Structure 1
Amino acid sequence: MSDSPRTAPDFPVWPQFDDAERAGLVRALDQGQWWRMGGGEVDAFEREFAEYHGAPYALAVTNGTHALELALQVLGVGPGTEVIVPGFTFISSSQAAQRLGAVAVPVDVDLDTYCLDPAAVEAAITSRTRAIMPVHMAGHFCDMDALGKISANSGVPLIQDAAHAHGASWQGRRVGEHGGIAAFSFQNGKLMTAGEGGAVTFCDADQFEQAFLRHSCGRPRTDRRYLHQTSGSNFRMNEFSASVLRAQLARLGGQIDTREQRWPLLAGLLAQIPGVVPQGRDPRCDRNPHYMAMFRLPGFDEDRRNALVDDLVERGLPAFAAFRAIYRSAGFWETGAPEETVDQIAGRCPNVEAIGADGIWLHHRTLLGTEEQMHAIAEILAQALAAA
């Protein structure tokens, strides 16, 4: 590698869009009805998204957090119940349960894949556990074989937080082909986006119908007399967002193909840098969309890691600190927290503690770059580490 300072190349921009999105927006506009009850874009997107992910049903909603909240409510999560979540995740995973009055119970993750540790899940199940939430971290599937057995043996359903996992598969089975419920996000940085938005996939028709009611203030599709059958809220997606997402979905597969080609190259280059450990991969995860290009720097503390991230950003890399452990944010403790201290939870989540302190991720748009740009990333990181 060169000794002269290297600046980052111009990576592909994100979000990506072209005339397909423009045509969709005009198509939605020309309908003259811009909400889902009067137009056709949301209905069409739901059919296309469900088919792409191997699910019988999909419900488009306002955002990924609402997708989780709605899915949990359909499973009966509420006051007096518990939801097992990974300690290493974006805090929406826990807040969706906490806003329903449930207690979020953080457990440890695997140090190689950063995904939920099945043994930790099994140890955390109580008579109050109403759901287990595997988060497919950075697009890598959780161990659905082990988690599926735990769910079957305990009777506690799984709800997949698939906010990072559009188009992912585990042993040839897509998110919707693992049964149960899964929640997706279309926030601006996600693998497909309309700025905001979310979706929930279902395998059960009754659950889908209940979710539809609850996402539309408890009101049936054909109601004309305000006969609200359930409690709920307005989580309906608008027609403009759906038209954009239909175009985004159409190019998702090609983008995943590119990232699947680039990540092995980049991971190999990063692994050659002393002290850098890229996120691993279980071979059963046979399609990973790579929402993040993640790696660890074992031995770094949070302050040193944060300083390195700042340096990488100054050098032009879209670098970010890994998620903070959810129980180390004040928002986690406002409502629905377990009767434990931070230190007690941290004591049973050593891998969460490690990744939260020394983990770094790069925006997935970097993996849409060229092979030469993967070498540039590694060179910049090596120089920044040397400077640090």
Structure 2
Amino acid sequence: MSAQGRPAPEFPVWPQYDDAEREGLLRALEQGQWWRMGGKEVDTFEQEFADYHGAAKALAVTNGTHALEIALQLLGVGPGTEVIVPAFTFISSSQAAQRLGATAVPVDIDLDTYNLSPEAAAAAITPRTRAIMPVHIAGQIADLDALDELAADSGVSIVQDAAHAHGARWRGRRVGELGSIAAFSFQNGKLMTAGEGGAVTFPETAQYDEAFLRHSCGRPPTDRKYFHQTSGSNFRLNEFSASVLRAQLARLDSQISVREERSKLLKSLLTEIPGVVPQGHDERADRVPHYMAMFRVPGLGEDRRNALVDDLIARGLPAFVVFRAIYRSDGFWESAAPDTTVDELAKACPNSEALTADGIWLHHRTLLASEGAIEDTAQIIADALAAV
């Protein structure tokens, strides 16, 4: 029962697991090698993940932020270079560039899809720009038709932040078939998880070979004499996590199918609530895994939005405020920040400002619930909004 007296909807727990994870953990335990260099789980998971996403290769790493760092490092991102990122994203997107010494350049988003605006990205390119990083918000792939054209015209590389986009498709093509490096996250709330973890997918095998060196302190897998061929760090995933991720991957596709159906129902119901605007859908994104169920209440304002989220949680919904525009966090300005101010960026990013103030999201386990629970969810949102 929620705090307001209406029965709270029943949502599946997250993370989900069953005997497949138990068997995987035992398999990793009993093989006697818990390090990726001697075991089989990480190697097997990488192949399975690459195959599922249509990539030439995949590299499993410690987390999604490290996946982004490796992807950027492969493209020569470092001091004196710039990476264009959406102003509306989780801050790892910018921090991955900044930790390499590059300047993160925030640009505005499309207020319908919440994805990076190709027009804003084009306007931000300078001779120092080394990469453009679209983030596939809530699992909907950004406008890669326009961004790929921009990349070809400018000579700037694309790095897909696919932390929300496991199993996503764009015009029938999977993330690994889109011609650019992509980085994924397996953090606890993600669409598949081992608590932490990440992966990078590559369109070319040679990119994997260099990335392997950099994620393993620059050391080739066959080295026995400590000849470290590149700079790097220890971003290696362990065998236990890989065994769990193999089980998680096996059920991902069926979960996406359920979320796609439930999302259609929830969006139709939210559209009927006065003042509520669900995240839009680009029809070219023909399979969306729905990491979040996102919506806005335009004009609500940040304080009232925050109060509404608190009320939704009290009523039993797994609700959250959306990401804050990255330039509105102190951490963004600590190192390798652009030569500008918060006010100047806010003026250049009105859509990110609006979404920061009035956006709400529901955890994707909401979309694994029954149709009845989805109907109850929409009614709770309507009731709570009327009470704000």
Same fold by TM-score, threshold 0.5 exceeded?
yes
Give the structure 1 partner of residue 152 of structure 2: 152
d(CA) in 2 for partners of 1:136, 1:209: 26
Alpha-carbon offset, residue 7 of structure 1 = 3.4
Alpha-carbon offset, residue 8 of structure 1 = 1.9
Is the contact made by 1:295 and 1:360 (CA closer than 8 Å) also made in structure 2?
yes
Give the structure 2 partner of residue 201 of structure 1: 201
Alpha-carbon offset, residue 382 of structure 1 = 0.7
Task: Kindly provide the CA deviation profile for residues 139-164 of structure 1, in whole angstroms up to 9, marking residues without a partner as x.
Answer: 01100100000001101000000000
d(CA) in 2 for partners of 1:224, 1:163: 35
Is the contact made by 1:5 and 1:383 (CA closer than 8 Å) also made in structure 2?
no
d(CA) in 1 for partners of 2:172, 2:242: 27
Structure 1: state its 5+ residue gaps: none
Quick check: 1:231 aligned with 2:244?
A: no
Task: Kindly provide the CA deviation profile for residues 212-236 of structure 1, in whole angstroms up to 9, marking residues without a partner as x.
Answer: 0000000001000000001100000
d(CA) in 2 for partners of 1:86, 1:282: 18
**Aligned ranges 1:79-98 → 2 under 5 Å:** 79-98=79-98
d(CA) in 2 for partners of 1:359, 1:7: 25
Q: Residue type of the partner of 2:269?
A: L
Alpha-carbon offset, residue 10 of structure 1 = 1.7
**Aligned ranges 1:173-192 → 2 under 5 Å:** 173-192=173-192
Task: Kindly provide the CA deviation profile for residues 115-156 of structure 1, in whole angstroms up to 9, marking residues without a partner as x.
Answer: 000000000000000000000000011001000000011010
Give the structure 2 partner of residue 333 of structure 1: 333
RMSD: 0.7
Give the structure 2 partner of residue 72 of structure 1: 72
Q: Residue type of the partner of 2:372?
A: E
d(CA) in 1 for partners of 2:5, 2:372: 16
SS at 1:222 equivalent: coil
Is the contact made by 1:167 and 1:289 (CA closer than 8 Å) also made in structure 2?
yes
Give the structure 2 partner of residue 351 of structure 1: 351
Q: Residue type of the partner of 1:77?
A: V
SS at 2:157 equivalent: coil
Task: Kindly provide the CA deviation profile for residues 35-77 of structure 1, in whole angstroms up to 9, marking residues without a partner as x.
Answer: 1000000000000000000000000000000000111011100
The normalised TM-score by structure 2 is 0.99
SS at 2:295 equivalent: strand
Quick check: 1:113 aligned with 2:113?
A: yes
SS at 1:160 equivalent: strand
Quick check: 1:44 aligned with 2:37?
A: no
Percent of aligned positions with the same letter in both sequences? 74
SS at 2:78 equivalent: coil
d(CA) in 2 for partners of 1:387, 1:178: 45
Give the structure 1 partner of residue 264 of structure 2: 264
Alpha-carbon offset, residue 6 of structure 1 = 2.5
**Aligned ranges 1:214-229 → 2 under 5 Å:** 214-229=214-229
SS at 2:69 equivalent: helix
d(CA) in 2 for partners of 1:264, 1:177: 26
d(CA) in 2 for partners of 1:179, 1:168: 14
d(CA) in 1 for partners of 2:58, 2:386: 48
**Aligned ranges 1:253-332 → 2 under 5 Å:** 253-332=253-332
Give the structure 1 partner of residue 129 of structure 2: 129
Alpha-carbon offset, residue 204 of structure 1 = 1.8
Alpha-carbon offset, residue 193 of structure 1 = 0.2
Alpha-carbon offset, residue 331 of structure 1 = 0.1
Runs of 4+ more than 6 Å apart: none
Q: Residue type of the partner of 1:323?
A: F
Is the contact made by 1:64 and 1:184 (CA closer than 8 Å) also made in structure 2?
yes
Q: Residue type of the partner of 2:87?
A: G
Q: Residue type of the partner of 1:84?
A: I
Structure 2: state its 5+ residue gaps: none
Is the contact made by 1:53 and 1:167 (CA closer than 8 Å) also made in structure 2?
yes
Is the contact made by 1:9 and 1:376 (CA closer than 8 Å) also made in structure 2?
yes
d(CA) in 2 for partners of 1:76, 1:207: 12
Is the contact made by 1:180 and 1:204 (CA closer than 8 Å) also made in structure 2?
no
Q: Residue type of the partner of 1:333?
A: W
d(CA) in 2 for partners of 1:243, 1:320: 30
Alpha-carbon offset, residue 180 of structure 1 = 1.7
Paired residues, number: 385
d(CA) in 1 for partners of 2:374, 2:280: 18
SS at 2:241 equivalent: helix
Give the structure 2 partner of residue 58 of structure 1: 58
Alpha-carbon offset, residue 5 of structure 1 = 4.8
Is the contact made by 1:50 and 1:58 (CA closer than 8 Å) also made in structure 2?
yes
Alpha-carbon offset, residue 205 of structure 1 = 2.0
Is the contact made by 1:301 and 1:358 (CA closer than 8 Å) also made in structure 2?
yes
d(CA) in 1 for partners of 2:170, 2:181: 16
Residues 197-206 or 130-139, more deviating: 197-206
d(CA) in 2 for partners of 1:253, 1:268: 23
